[in-house]
């Protein structure tokens, strides 16, 4: 669909959600400076006590996110626009992601609130970094311009590095931050190098002008292949697609668990969004129904191979993990591969399936992390052995975790099954059978390691010497229900979400 | 009243009651669960009376009975579409009966009762649903819903190697069902965006071909093979059978009964319900291979059974052998063979259920199942020995008992299609007689093993679970019409639909 280009001044109105977020960041920082003046920062050992300053910063952060959502809602939707002279898309696809990132940011702020290792440890900074990352992700999902893609990607990455290292006394956390930063620098460098090739060959940094140049032909295979691979390295790093995934297990394990949960959903979705937008609007042309690859490189095949390797390696590596956060890291790599399968399918059905999958994935993955967080509030309980007998000691947590894990596996009647089904449906419709077969075989592999956790929770007896687990805080209980209900319900009644995903699949592809 | 919805979902209504009861009120929990399975049983009895035996079903949408049809998820064209014909009604009856009896066989379970019975009722929902569903998506949901309760029932309440057996079962069946899922999707697009099985049967979907990893195969054949693997794992057909001995042996007695009595039938039911009428051309192409699989199952299963020292494992392997007869009947393409196959599904369900219940009885008392560890029990426990004799002879296929009729029908049908192969298959009956009689002799005859001179006789509850099955074995041995009559018009219609 074609969009109307708006000038800089007219565009500001549509940029209001992002502006509110930026304002929130400043407000949080200012509030903490002013309200916290004169108080010594509370040491991390003072667990469980929450100061009014903490609650205040959280409230401001949440209010900001809510304000941004309200701004988004008030703008409505009148048709695709291209803001700021064609740099930022205002189309159903980007609006979907604006909603998605705001919701994820709010969820993460709430999840983190009762998590003692984070509380009062420069809490304002934590809030502003999460909100800042959300801002970057919103920008990334809507950029239609190479320069802005790069800036937005850095806007996601830089706060992420700090978030990864947020537990300052913790060696693993510091290691995570360093690894994340080094890998991130390499990946974005590679991507930038790829961009420079593309600019050199097409003479533009605007997606649609680049497409015109590529469609007119004449660019040799190698000259396109090199930048495509380099750009994939940049996006693949954000998505944690194999072979650009090496950072993920260490970063996921080292970061504070709420932050890990954030990484596994937010930046991953942002990476997917930019990947879809970039490839579907630069290297593909034609209408909604007849989208086809242009240029001399069949990047869909490249993506198909990438997704097959990502799923398979992610799942195989997850089998051997005893640390649940590492296992969920590998599992999230595998899920990235599953979603990439959808990106192989051109035309609306693939994007439609990915959007559906993302929402379901957010519920079930955040849910699984939430259970890990809920039981490790007072001390780290992150290995499978720590889950032994959980199902008998805390039945609600155990049953919820089982539902989340089965949903992650893709076993009916859970939302995860329907999501996987949607992706497979898109593949089979395009008759890409080989990838579908690899996809479903991976489901079987993934069952093996998810079932290990279920086994530990229900089939193993609890360790009688183990002290009582912390009781569930009210915020966590509410959030758990919030994640659990859709994870079950969307397994039966997914018509509404399907309609939302269907309506949101449209990208602006020209002006 | 849409009776199929009630027969499928009514056990679900009892789960909240179970969960609300305090764990120490064991009898209340048990009887609530019994009530949960009594409702479907009562409805099944009603179905038995109300079922019109002249209507064929299979691929005629108009002649399915008790049809419920509502749109469900319209953007995926998924419907809530249930209905039964002569093929499914027998399985519905079997499921309702065995589930009810197994609740009573589960009265000995004494830990985690609420969880156990809740999962059991959930399992029954899945089983009933599979046999009633006519929408492919719905069928798949029910098919998969069973995996989870089964995993926990084996894994939590099973024997020493329960964890291994449970995950093996889960992985094997999931492997089979994901392939089925792809086939469902391929059929969906081929059949013009529909999950309606009956419409697919009339849609001539077999043309075209599928290319996969550099090989090309006719569309119908490729889909048939994909579905076949999924179903073969459930049956199980050699070489996909290795989960079965583990799962059957480690599962608690009532769950072994359900596994052997109902779950195995889902494989053959799936082929008859889905693969046969939707892909008739591929079915004819595959029939000789299926007959060969049947032979391997019969002989291999019997030989393995003969070598077992553990009584439960012996019966597990004998199931593989007896399911081979179902396959032989299905491959024959004759009315006798097909009728025999479905009747054998029913009879094997009741007879094997009896055998597993009998193993459970002795295991509860002696705490082991070594065949060699007994001897002379007939004098000590005559009622138990009588029930065992009846079950063993029914399993052998002694004339006058139910197993004979179905195996004879299968062999008659099979002989017309594959004479030489059927003669080899008949050797399975001889082998069956050999291992069964030898086993009976070692356990019940000879001098009494002094260790068991005080072995208590079978009690009233156990007799209650066995007697209906024994009565069926005798009744259907003389007069198979009550079951055979229900399926006949459907099965002849199916033979006409596939073989013309």
Question: What is the pLDDT, as a whole number, of residue A41?
Answer: 57
**Element of type H or E holding A433:** helix A433-454
Burial A90-129 (b: 16+ CB within 10 A, else e): bbbbbbbbbbbbbbbbbbbbbbbbbbbbbbbbbbbbbbbb
Closest to B124 in 3D by CA, of B99, B150, B159 = B99
Which of A447, A459, A495 is nearest residue B163 as measured by Cβ atoms? A459
From the CA of B144, how many Å to the nearest CA of chain A?
A: 6
Question: What is the pLDDT, as a whole number, of residue A43?
Answer: 53
Q: Do A458 and B211 touch (CB under 8 A)?
A: no
Question: What is the pLDDT, as a whole number, of residue A46?
Answer: 43
From the CA of A447, how many Å to the nearest CA of chain B?
A: 7
Q: What is the DSSP letter of B263?
A: I
* A243 cis-preceded (ω within 30 degrees of 0): yes
Which of A413, A444, A502 is nearest residue B178 as measured by Cβ atoms? A444
> Would you call A447 an interface residue with chain B, using a CB distance cutoff of 8 Å?
yes
Do residues A57 and A129 make contact, with C-beta atoms less than 8 angstroms apart?
Answer: no
The rounded distance, in Å, linking the Cα atoms of A173 and B192 is 54
Question: Encoding tokens for residue B350?
Answer: 């009741």
Interface of A with B in 386-445 (CB under 8 A): 406, 411-413, 417, 421, 424-425, 428-429, 431, 433-434, 436-437, 440-441, 443-444
Do residues B291 and B328 make contact, with C-beta atoms less than 8 angstroms apart?
Answer: yes
The one-digit pLDDT tens for each residue of chain A (511 residues) are: 788 888 888 889 899 999 999 999 999 989 888 886 656 555 544 445 567 777 888 899 999 999 999 999 998 888 888 888 888 999 999 999 999 999 999 999 998 887 777 665 677 888 999 999 999 999 999 999 999 999 999 999 999 999 998 887 788 888 889 999 999 999 999 999 999 999 998 888 999 888 888 888 778 888 888 999 999 999 999 898 888 888 899 999 888 889 999 999 999 999 999 999 999 888 888 766 677 888 777 888 999 999 999 999 999 999 988 999 899 999 999 999 999 999 888 878 889 999 999 999 999 999 999 999 888 877 778 888 888 888 888 888 999 999 999 999 998 889 999 999 999 999 988 888 899 999 999 999 999 999 989 988 888 877 777 777 777 888 889 999 999 999 999 988 888 899 999 888 888 887 7
* B30 cis-preceded (ω within 30 degrees of 0): no
Which of A437, A448, A455 is nearest residue B182 as measured by Cβ atoms? A437
Question: Closest residue of A to B211, CA-based?
Answer: A433
Question: Encoding tokens for residue B158?
Answer: 């099973």
- How do the domains of chain A map onto residue ranges? 4-503
Which of B76, B155, B182 is nearest residue A424 as measured by Cβ atoms? B182
> Would you call B433 an interface residue with chain A, using a CB distance cutoff of 8 Å?
no
Question: What is the pLDDT, as a whole number, of residue A383?
Answer: 86
- Strands A81-83, A88-90: pairing kind: antiparallel
- Non-local CB neighbours of A302 within 8 Å, separated by 6+ positions: A228, A229, A232
Cβ contacts of A405 on chain B, cutoff 8 Å: none
> Would you call A458 an interface residue with chain B, using a CB distance cutoff of 8 Å?
yes
Closest to B297 in 3D by CA, of B230, B226, B355, B241 = B241
Whether pTM exceeds 0.90: yes
Do residues A454 and A405 make contact, with C-beta atoms less than 8 angstroms apart?
Answer: yes
The distance from CA B357 to its chain's CA centroid, rounded to whole angstroms, is 15
Q: How many residues does chain B have?
A: 500
Q: How far is CA A60 from CA A50, B57, B108, in A?
A: 16, 65, 58
What are the helix (H) ranges across A76-170? Answer: 92-112, 123-142, 146-164
- How do the domains of chain B map onto residue ranges? 288-500
Question: What is the pLDDT, as a whole number, of residue B373?
Answer: 81
**Element of type H or E holding B84:** strand B78-84
The rounded distance, in Å, linking the Cα atoms of A377 and A118 is 10
Could you tell me how many helices (H) and strands (E) chain A has, helices first? 20, 5
Could you tell me how many helices (H) and strands (E) chain B has, helices first? 22, 4
Question: Encoding tokens for residue A126?
Answer: 């934590």
The rounded distance, in Å, linking the Cα atoms of A259 and A275 is 23
From the CA of A426, how many Å to the nearest CA of chain B?
A: 10
Closest to B101 in 3D by CA, of B319, B314, B350, B363 = B350
Cβ contacts of A412 on chain B, cutoff 8 Å: 140-141, 144-145
Q: Do B166 and A443 touch (CB under 8 A)?
A: no
The rounded distance, in Å, linking the Cα atoms of A410 and B269 is 25
The rounded distance, in Å, linking the Cα atoms of B356 and B348 is 12
Residue ranges of chain B with per-residue pLDDT less than 50: none
The rounded distance, in Å, linking the Cα atoms of A277 and A234 is 14
The rounded distance, in Å, linking the Cα atoms of A188 and A182 is 10
The rounded distance, in Å, linking the Cα atoms of A71 and A166 is 31
Question: What is the pLDDT, as a whole number, of residue B34?
Answer: 92
Cβ contacts of B75 on chain A, cutoff 8 Å: 495, 498-499, 502
> Would you call B317 an interface residue with chain A, using a CB distance cutoff of 8 Å?
no
């Amino acid at each position: 669909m074609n969009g109307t280009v708006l000038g800089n001044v007219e565009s500001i109105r549509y940029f209001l959600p992002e502006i509110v977020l930026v304002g929130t960041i400043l407000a949080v920082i200012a509030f903490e400076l002013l309200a916290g003046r004169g108080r010594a920062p509370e040491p991390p050992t003072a667990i469980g006590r929450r100061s009014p300053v903490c609650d205040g910063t959280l409230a401001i952060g949440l209010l900001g996110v809510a304000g941004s959502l309200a701004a988004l809602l008030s703008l409505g939707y009148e048709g695709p626009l291209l803001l700021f002279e064609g740099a930022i898309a205002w189309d159903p696809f980007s609006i979907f992601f604006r909603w998605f990132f705001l919701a994820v940011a709010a969820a993460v702020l709430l999840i983190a609130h009762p998590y003692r290792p984070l509380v009062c440890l420069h809490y304002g900074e934590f809030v502003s970094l999460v909100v800042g990352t959300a801002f970057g992700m919103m920008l990334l999902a809507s950029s239609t311009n190479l320069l802005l893609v790069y800036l937005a990607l850095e806007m996601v990455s830089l706060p992420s590095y700090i978030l990864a290292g947020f537990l300052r006394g913790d060696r693993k956390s510091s290691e995570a931050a360093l690894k994340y930063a080094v890998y991130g620098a390499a990946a974005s460098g590679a991507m930038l190098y790829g961009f420079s090739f593309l600019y050199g060959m097409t003479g533009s940094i605007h997606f649609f002008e680049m497409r015109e140049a590529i469609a007119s032909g004449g660019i040799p295979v190698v000259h396109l292949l090199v930048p495509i691979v380099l750009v994939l390295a940049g996006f693949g790093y954000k998505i944690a697609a194999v072979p650009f995934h090496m950072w993920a297990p260490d970063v996921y394990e080292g970061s504070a668990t709420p932050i890990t949960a954030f990484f596994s959903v937010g930046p991953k979705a942002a990476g997917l969004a930019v990947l879809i937008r970039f490839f579907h609007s630069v290297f593909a042309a034609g209408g909604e129904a007849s989208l086809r690859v242009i240029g001399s490189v069949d990047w869909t095949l490249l993506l198909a191979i990438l997704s097959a390797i990502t799923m398979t390696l992610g799942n195989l590596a997850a089998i051997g993990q005893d640390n649940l956060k590492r296992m969920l890291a590998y599992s999230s790599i595998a899920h990235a591969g599953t979603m990439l399968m959808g990106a192989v399918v051109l035309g609306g059905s693939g994007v439609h399936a990915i959007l559906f999958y993302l929402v379901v994935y957010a519920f079930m993955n955040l849910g699984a992390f939430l259970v890990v967080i809920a039981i490790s509030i007072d001390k780290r309980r992150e290995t499978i052995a720590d889950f032994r007998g959980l199902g008998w000691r805390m039945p609600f947590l155990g049953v919820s975790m089982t539902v989340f894990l089965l949903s992650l596996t893709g076993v009916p009647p859970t939302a995860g099954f329907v999501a996987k089904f949607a992706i497979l449906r898109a593949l089979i419709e395009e008759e890409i059978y080989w990838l579908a077969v690899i996809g479903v075989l991976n489901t079987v592999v993934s069952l093996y390691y998810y079932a290990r956790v279920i086994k530990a929770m229900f089939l193993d007896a609890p360790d009688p010497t183990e002290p009582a687990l912390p009781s569930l805080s009210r915020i966590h209980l509410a959030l758990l229900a919030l994640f659990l209900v859709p994870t079950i319900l969307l397994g039966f009644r997914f018509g509404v979400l399907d309609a939302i995903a269907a309506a949101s699949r449209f990208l602006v592809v020209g002006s | 009243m849409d009776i199929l919805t009630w027969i499928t979902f009514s056990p679900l209504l009892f789960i909240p009651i179970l969960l609300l009861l305090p764990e120490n009120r064991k009898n209340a929990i048990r009887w609530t669960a019994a009530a949960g399975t009594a409702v479907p049983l009562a409805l099944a009895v009603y179905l038995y009376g109300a079922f019109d035996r002249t209507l064929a079903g299979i691929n005629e949408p108009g002649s399915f009975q008790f049809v419920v049809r509502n749109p469900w998820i319209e953007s995926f064209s998924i419907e809530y579409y249930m209905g039964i014909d002569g093929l499914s009604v027998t399985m519905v009856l079997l499921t309702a009966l065995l589930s009810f009896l197994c609740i009573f066989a589960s009265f000995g379970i004494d830990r985690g009762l609420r969880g156990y019975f809740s999962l059991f009722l959930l399992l029954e929902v899945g089983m009933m649903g599979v046999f009633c569903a006519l929408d492919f998506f719905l069928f798949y949901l029910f098919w998969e819903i069973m995996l989870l309760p089964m995993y926990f029932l084996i894994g939590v309440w099973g024997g020493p190697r329960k964890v291994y057996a449970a995950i093996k079962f889960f992985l094997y069946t999931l492997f089979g069902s994901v392939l089925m899922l792809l086939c469902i999707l391929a059929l969906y697009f081929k059949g013009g965006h529909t999950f309606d099985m009956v419409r697919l049967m009339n849609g001539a979907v077999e043309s075209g071909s599928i290319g996969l990893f550099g090989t090309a195969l006719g569309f119908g054949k490729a889909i048939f093979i994909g579905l076949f693997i999924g179903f073969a794992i459930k049956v199980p057909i050699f070489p996909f059978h290795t989960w079965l001995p583990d799962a059957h042996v480690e599962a608690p007695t009532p769950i072994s009964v359900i596994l052997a009595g109902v779950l195995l039938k889902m494989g053959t039911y799936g082929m008859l319900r889905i693969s046969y009428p939707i892909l008739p051309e591929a079915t004819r192409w595959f029939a000789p291979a299926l007959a060969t699989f049947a032979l391997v199952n019969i002989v291999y299963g019997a030989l393995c059974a003969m070598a077992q020292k553990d009584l439960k494992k012996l019966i597990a392997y004998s199931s593989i052998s007896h399911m081979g007869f179902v396959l032989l009947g299905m491959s024959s393409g004759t009315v006798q063979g097909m009728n025999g196959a479905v009747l054998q599904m029913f009879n094997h369900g009741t007879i094997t259920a009896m055998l597993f219940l009998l193993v459970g009885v002795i295991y509860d008392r002696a705490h082991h199942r070594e065949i060699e560890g007994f001897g002379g029990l007939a004098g000590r426990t005559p009622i138990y020995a009588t029930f065992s004799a009846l079950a063993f002879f029914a399993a052998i296929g002694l004339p006058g008992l139910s197993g004979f009729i179905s195996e004879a029908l299968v062999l008659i049908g099979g002989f017309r299609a594959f004479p030489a192969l059927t003669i080899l298959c008949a050797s399975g009956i001889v082998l069956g007689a050999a291992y069964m009689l030898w086993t009976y002799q070692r356990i019940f005859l000879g001098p009494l093993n002094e260790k068991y001179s005080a072995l208590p006789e079978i009690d009233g509850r156990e007799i209650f679970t066995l007697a209906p099955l024994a009565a069926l074995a005798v009744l259907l041995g003389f007069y198979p019409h009550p079951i055979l009559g229900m399926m006949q018009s459907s099965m002849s219609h199916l033979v006409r639909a596939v073989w013309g």
